[in-house]
Amino acid sequence: MRCRDARAWLAEEHSDSEVETARQRSEVLAHLAHCPACRHYEQQQQRLKRLLYGNFSPVSCRISTEQIMQAVYLRQRTTRQLEELHQQQRTRLARLQTLSSLFMVSLFILTASIPVLLFLLFFNQPELLVRTLLLLSDAVDAFLVALTYLRLGLSFVSQDNLLLAALAFLLLLLAAVWLRLMRAPQEA
């Protein structure tokens, strides 16, 4: 028997009941007695079968069930806390939206009522209208002076590039802080 045939027979599964198999087995055993390479191959095959089909002992787990349950509990608690934070943020945004819409409506009513009040004063009490316009003119003068100073300050800032860059950086920093505060909370 050739080595190739013996190795092929050793690699295959055989049943002990067949007559042909018994004859081939005797030939292979005779070949194994004379060929050390095939004998070594047979030992490797047996070792491989023992490794593949042998009894495995159960592997002990280092993490106990208690630790797993504690981790699951912590995860659930963290999820609940995040959901509570999301709910608080939604409540704050809803409240802020309501307040901002109320503020805009009141501001609109206030600005719309000023011309109506001036019109009513013009017909009913003209002397009160004159005093009111004098007070308003003082307020308008103060507003114009403030605008003049603001324009002067802005022209000074625009002339100095370093100061302009510092103001732009400050605005960028404030926007970044605002975005950081308004972001949705993330999972830990």
Mean pLDDT by 10 residues, the chain (188 residues): 80 65 80 87 85 70 84 94 92 90 93 85 82 83 90 75 85 92 71
pLDDT given for residue 62 in this prediction? 77
Alpha-carbon distance 132 to 140, whole Å? 12
Burial 40-63 (b: 16+ CB within 10 A, else e): ebbeeeeeeeeeeeeeeeeeeeee
Predicted pLDDT at 10: 78
Q: 9 with 32: CB under 8 angstroms?
A: no
Indicate left, alpha or beta for 136 from its phi (over 0: left) and psi (-120 to 50: alpha).
alpha
pLDDT score for 28: 82
- pLDDT value, residue 106: 94
Three-state DSSP class for 57? coil
Q: Spell out the SS3 assignment of 132-163.
A: HHHHHHHHHHHHHHHHHHHHHHHHHHHHCHHH
Does the reported pTM lie above 0.75? no
pLDDT at 79: 94
pLDDT of residue 108: 94
